[in-house]
Structure 1
Amino acid sequence: MQIVRYFMDPLSEVLSLLKLEAYISGGFPLTAGTGLEFRRHQGIKCYVVIDGNCWVAVTGSQEAIFLKSGDCVFLPSGAPFCLATAPDSLPQPFIPPDKETGSALTMQAPRDGAFILGGRFTFSSAHADILLHSLPPLIPVTEGIGQKVMRNAMECLREEMRVPQPGGDLIAQQLVQIMLVQALRVFLQQKGNEHVGWMFALSDPQLKAAITYMHQEPAFPWTLQELAKRVGMSRTVFTEHFKRKVGITPMKYLSQWRMLLAGERLRNSRDSITQISQSAGYNSDSAFGRAFKKEWGCSPREHRQQLLRAFTSHEQ
């Protein structure tokens, strides 16, 4: 019997590693001539224009982006921002409305205004920066840009929120996660060549292949020569191209990825240091310890003890 091994693609793997959690914060109307100002936030915020039109701008930015019914926007930087019916509307601080439960929501925009549905994403992992630092302050997803998947998800989300049903909260959370992944896909397709970072390198077929190899087999004794050979490039060209697109060398990226995985295993498993060392591609605990300390600032054993103390303190 043939055994087929299934591997996640790099983006799915990172999102899973970060332990992404989605929440629907509720819907609210935006009346004509008004704006709402939102404070600095953690994680990623998401807003869907269910009905009407509005503008969104990150505080301090000169550019406001127009959103119409069916459009959505993701805000991963945590920076303050405004939603308004016109670019020159004077914003007021946002006060969350009381959440309606157990009854149907109209979700219709006021005259010349908008009805907006909000959500947010949090990360229970300590490594959210590997994703968030790669992204711009604002990611709009508008008509014609990968909109089919988004439109289907938004229609389902609208129905789940309009008429609450058993299990509706869970379905809504999954739909918003689909929308986030689709937004990241669209952003890579549109802007992948304009930014530097591991995620943007996924828009390059050869670099995507190299990153996928490292993610799928972190314990393999990778060398520059082997990686370059796998993706059909010379070692010199591969190294230069990788560093230009990712911002660091291939071997530095491999080391960081291995240490990230090792940190998660120290946090979430009872595996010994030797087992974790071997899973990260090290035959020597001492060599693993040096690499780990360089990345984390402490030894693997100290890191595990810190996590244990933090967990014990939280439980008390």
Structure 2
Amino acid sequence: MGVQEVRMDPLEDVLALLGAESHVSAALVGGGGWAVGFDPPAGAKFNAVRRGRCALRVDGLAAPISLGEGDCFLLTRPVAYTLFTDPDAPVQPAYPIFAAAADGVARVGDGDDVLLIGGAFSLGGRARTLLLDDLPPVIHVPADTPEAGTVQWALGEIDAELRSTRLGSHLVAEHLALVLLIRVLRLHLARADRSSAGWLAGLADPVVAPALRAMHARPAHRWTVDEVARAATVSRSTLAARFKKVVGSGPLEYLTGWRIELAAERLRRGTDTVATIAQAVGYGSESALSVAFKRATGLSPRSYRTELAKGHPDDLPESAALADRTRPGR
């Protein structure tokens, strides 16, 4: 029996590399006419209507989005937004309402006609560039669409855990929220047409996706465009043209960016020597990695690690190698 090939998932790779974390907030119960305004989230934000109806107004979008029972949305931009049942109601800031939450429930208005659950995903600048910038500002998942069932399961489980008094229920809910994020992203990719562009769109493209999986499975391999094309079962010219159109770069440019991301992660979280990291991510020598790393980040690997040791990781330049190479038109 031959060795079974391990199928690598680039989306899973990126989420793991970037350390995406979820934070589930108190539920929001409202009655009558009300409006609650939320500050721009630092990462991505989701809310789901478990009972009743309300609407979502997002800064920069012309029209509000009607939300029915079972609907959810993912906000992908750091912009302010308002949830409301009455468009003319005075907007109350969200912070005092949630600060006064009791037993995991924040209340607004008079009654309990509407129940929402929600949370946020902590994503740094690199994650935002890689995951969110090519998405629409809001991904709305209506409950009555055929594809929404895969999202509804995660919502139901999050709701059940938030209502539970069992040990670890909040932690379970936060892990389930990451499941929800992945399923909403899957749903968006399934909806996207062939004209969509960007790194995430590549995961749904029949030519680009197998190429991405192959390179993520063996990032240290000395890939050539011909080999990547064979993995995608297309010609070299077809792969190069399609990859450039969808992802915004050539396949080997993408691979270079991904290797720099992997190297940066190992510098942040480990003590391996730069030479060891260079071999692990596909560079033949420490000097080769150093040149590529400095071109991408503005710092050598050693300087990058030194800055980390000073305790100011937020001041480090973003590793733009992958991000800059996955923008259509670049």
Same fold (TM over 0.5): yes
* 1:248-284 Cα shifts (integer Å, max 9, x gaps): 1211111100000000011111111111111121112
Query: Which residue pairs with 2:92 in the alignment?
Result: 92
Query: Which residue pairs with 1:23 in the alignment?
Result: 23
Query: Which residue pairs with 1:245 in the alignment?
Result: 246
Q: In the alignment, is the contact (CA less than 8 A) between 1:51 and 1:108 conserved in 2?
A: no
Label 1:312 to 1:231 Cα distance change in 2 as closer, same or farther (>3 A). closer
Alignment of 1:97-136 (within 5 A): 97=98, 98-101=100-103, 113-123=113-123, 127-136=127-136
Structure 1 stretch displaced more, 216-225 or 79-88? 79-88
Query: Which residue pairs with 1:307 in the alignment?
Result: 308
Q: In the alignment, is the contact (CA less than 8 A) between 2:21 and 2:123 conserved in 1?
A: yes
Query: Which residue pairs with 1:209 in the alignment?
Result: 210
Q: CA deviation at 1:111?
A: 6.2
Q: CA deviation at 1:243?
A: 0.8
CA distance in 2, matches of 1:215, 1:251: 12
Query: Which residue pairs with 1:264 in the alignment?
Result: 265
Q: CA deviation at 1:58?
A: 1.4
The alignment-based identity, stated in percent, is 33
Aligned-residue RMSD, C-alpha: 2.8
CA distance in 2, matches of 1:87, 1:107: 18
Structure 1 stretch displaced more, 107-116 or 171-180? 107-116
Alignment of 1:133-144 (within 5 A): 133-143=133-143, 144=145
Q: CA deviation at 1:245?
A: 0.4
Label 1:312 to 1:259 Cα distance change in 2 as closer, same or farther (>3 A). closer
Q: In the alignment, is the contact (CA less than 8 A) between 2:220 and 2:283 conserved in 1?
A: yes
Q: CA deviation at 1:113?
A: 4.6
Structure 1 stretch displaced more, 131-140 or 238-247? 131-140
Letter aligned with residue 84 of structure 1: F
Q: In the alignment, is the contact (CA less than 8 A) between 1:85 and 1:113 conserved in 2?
A: no
CA distance in 1, matches of 2:113, 2:194: 36
Query: Which residue pairs with 1:63 in the alignment?
Result: 63
Q: CA deviation at 1:142?
A: 1.5
Letter aligned with residue 59 of structure 1: D
CA distance in 2, matches of 1:178, 1:4: 26
CA distance in 1, matches of 2:250, 2:142: 35
Q: In the alignment, is the contact (CA less than 8 A) between 1:34 and 1:90 conserved in 2?
A: yes
Label 1:125 to 1:37 Cα distance change in 2 as closer, same or farther (>3 A). closer
* 1:220-262 Cα shifts (integer Å, max 9, x gaps): 1111121112212222221111111011121111110000000
CA distance in 2, matches of 1:215, 1:241: 18
Q: CA deviation at 1:83?
A: 1.0
Letter aligned with residue 169 of structure 2: G
Q: In the alignment, is the contact (CA less than 8 A) between 1:26 and 1:99 conserved in 2?
A: yes
Q: CA deviation at 1:290?
A: 1.1
Unmatched 5+ stretches in structure 1: none
- The count of corresponding residues between Structure 1 and Structure 2 is 312
Q: In the alignment, is the contact (CA less than 8 A) between 1:18 and 1:125 conserved in 2?
A: no
SS at structure 1 position matched to 2:207: helix
Query: Which residue pairs with 1:33 in the alignment?
Result: 33
Label 1:69 to 1:4 Cα distance change in 2 as closer, same or farther (>3 A). same
SS at structure 2 position matched to 1:310: coil
Label 1:127 to 1:186 Cα distance change in 2 as closer, same or farther (>3 A). closer
Query: Which residue pairs with 1:154 in the alignment?
Result: 155
Is 1:45 aligned with 2:45? yes
Q: In the alignment, is the contact (CA less than 8 A) between 2:43 and 2:124 conserved in 1?
A: no
* 1:166-221 Cα shifts (integer Å, max 9, x gaps): 21111211221111111000001112534321111111122100011111111111
CA distance in 2, matches of 1:285, 1:164: 52
Q: In the alignment, is the contact (CA less than 8 A) between 2:8 and 2:214 conserved in 1?
A: no
CA distance in 1, matches of 2:313, 2:15: 27
* 1:84-123 Cα shifts (integer Å, max 9, x gaps): 114565533223322333x8x6999966952211211113
Letter aligned with residue 36 of structure 1: V
Q: CA deviation at 1:17?
A: 1.0
* 1:43-68 Cα shifts (integer Å, max 9, x gaps): 11111111101111211210221111
Letter aligned with residue 301 of structure 1: R
CA distance in 1, matches of 2:297, 2:274: 15
Letter aligned with residue 148 of structure 2: Q
CA distance in 2, matches of 1:42, 1:157: 22
CA distance in 2, matches of 1:312, 1:155: 37
Q: CA deviation at 1:308?
A: 1.1
Query: Which residue pairs with 2:166 in the alignment?
Result: 165
- TM-score by structure 2 length? 0.86
Alignment of 1:166-245 (within 5 A): 166-191=167-192, 193-245=194-246
- TM-score by structure 1 length? 0.89
SS at structure 2 position matched to 1:172: helix
